[in-house]
Structure 1
Amino acid sequence: MAAKEILSKVGKRVRDLREAKGWSQEELGFQSGLHRNYIGGIERGERNLALLNLEKLAKALGVHARDLLP
């Protein structure tokens, strides 16, 4: 799987989980301790997510980090 495809799939999964909670990118940023612009970049597949940030997002979304990976 190509890097861009992986980033896009992770971003879509983050967006889907965020929207299922009814949260804005700003709210997910608040809950995870990450900036909303960073969240937007992840969701668009533009950001290469660090493992520690993947864990922060997973914790905020109430899932395991592995659930965010394709």
Structure 2
Amino acid sequence: MIETLRRIDPPRDHEGPARALVIGRSIRLALYLTSPDESEAVSRALDICARLLAASPEFARFHITDFRLL
């Protein structure tokens, strides 16, 4: 998961390290992004998640169901 994330979105775009927790059919992904405002951060996070799911056939069965902005 993290290797695929690094391939589609290089670490230079992240403020801190990305983390992933896979439990059964659920993935919890923590992204630390720098953005001038919340709407851009949400847009970037959703874009990264969509590209991550499309990047590998093993992730094709997953869907984005929710997210939290902290």
Question: Normalised by the size of structure 2, how large is the TM-score?
Answer: 0.37
CA radius of gyration, larger in? 2
Tell me which of the two structures has the higher relative contact order, counting C-alpha pairs closer than 8 angstroms and 6 or more residues apart. Answer: 1
Q: Which has the higher strand share?
A: 2
Question: Normalised by the size of structure 1, how large is the TM-score?
Answer: 0.37
Q: Which has the higher helix share?
A: 1
